[in-house]
C-alpha cells in the first residue's frame, strides 16, 4: 500500500492544542482506498511499516458517486498538463456520504463555466473514467 495523504490531528485541551493522532489515507494495488490512525507523529510516519496499521476500507461509492451521464467526459488519455482533481480523503469519516458528493457539486459548477468560459478560470475538460 502507498500513502496518498496524511495529516496530524490536534484536539483542544484547556487553552492549548495537543497532538491526538495522525490520519493516513492509503491506496492498494487495486486502487482501493483505506484510512488508518496512529499515535505516531508525521515525522515518524514515513519510517514505519504501513502494512502493520489497522486499516478501514473506504467504500468506492462514497469516494466516486455516480455522476449524471450528461456531464462532459474528459478525453482519454488526458493531456499531460491536466490536473486531475480527487476528493480530499483526510476528512473522510466512516459513513460520510458528502466526501464524493462535494466533487459532484464542483462538477456542476464547472459544467456551467464550460458553457460560459472566462479567461481567468481554468479550462474544464470533464469527468475522467
pLDDT at 47: 63
Which among 35, 30, 39 has a CA at the least distance from the CA of 89? 35
pTM, two decimals, is 0.75
75-103 tens-digit pLDDT:
999 999 999 888 888 888 776 667 778 88
Where would I find the H helices in the chain?
42-45, 60-63, 98-115
Task: Please list the ranges in the chain whose pLDDT falls under 70.
Answer: 44-48, 95-97
DSSP 39: S
Q: Which residue(s) pair with 120 in the sheet?
A: none
For the chain, give the number of residues.
129
Amino acid at each position: 500500500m502507498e500513502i496518498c495523504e496524511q495529516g496530524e490531528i490536534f484536539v483542544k485541551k484547556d487553552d492549548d492544542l495537543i497532538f491526538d493522532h495522525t490520519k493516513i489515507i492509503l491506496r492498494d494495488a487495486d486502487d482501493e482506498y483505506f484510512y488508518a490512525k496512529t499515535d505516531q507523529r508525521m515525522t515518524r510516519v514515513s519510517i514505519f511499516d504501513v502494512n502493520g496499521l489497522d486499516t478501514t476500507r473506504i467504500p468506492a461509492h462514497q469516494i466516486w458517486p455516480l455522476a449524471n451521464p450528461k456531464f462532459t467526459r474528459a478525453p482519454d488519455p488526458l493531456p499531460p498538463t491536466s490536473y486531475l482533481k480527487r476528493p480530499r480523503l483526510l476528512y473522510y469519516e466512516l459513513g460520510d456520504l458528502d466526501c464524493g458528493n462535494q466533487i459532484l457539486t464542483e462538477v456542476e459548477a464547472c459544467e456551467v463555466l464550460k458553457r460560459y468560459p472566462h479567461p481567468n478560470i481554468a479550462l474544464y475538460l470533464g469527468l475522467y473514467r
